[in-house]
Amino acid sequence: MFYQNITEESFWKMLYMYILQLTFNFIQADFVKESMAKKLASLLTDDPALREYVKYRKLLRQHPGDQMLKTSYEVALTNVQLAVSRKHTDLKKTGPSTHVQYAEELMQYWGMYYF
């Protein structure tokens, strides 16, 4: 399969290009809401949970009927949600910031409790 032939370096290059593309798409106006993907990329830059989430999200879009991929995607999403929650807790100790706001917006979107 395609994802098995990707080296770690090429994965990071693709992720970087994807983030750049998202960034340029959202620079058009200041009032444009930032996407979930941009917030995740900003919060979890080097987190392996984000890599897994991106991989399974892409594969599930290519094969929407595959139950095994759906289960893997749900597990990856849960791991990303936990990583965002952990990051929120760590960032909250340092005081308010854009990243804290991103984490809170993501957790609200997912219906997660935070304090």
Q: Which pLDDT score, from 0 to 100, does residue 85 have?
A: 94
Q: Which pLDDT score, from 0 to 100, does residue 29 have?
A: 39
Rounded to whole angstroms, how far apart are CA atoms 89 and 100? 9
The pLDDT tens digits for 23-72 are 555 444 333 356 888 899 999 988 999 999 999 999 999 999 999 999 99
The first and second tokens of residue 102, run together, are 């991103």
Amino acid at 49: A
Rounded to whole angstroms, how far apart are CA atoms 85 and 103? 7
To the question of pTM greater than 0.75 for the whole model, the response is no
The pLDDT tens digits for 75-114 are 999 999 999 999 999 999 988 889 999 999 999 988 888 7
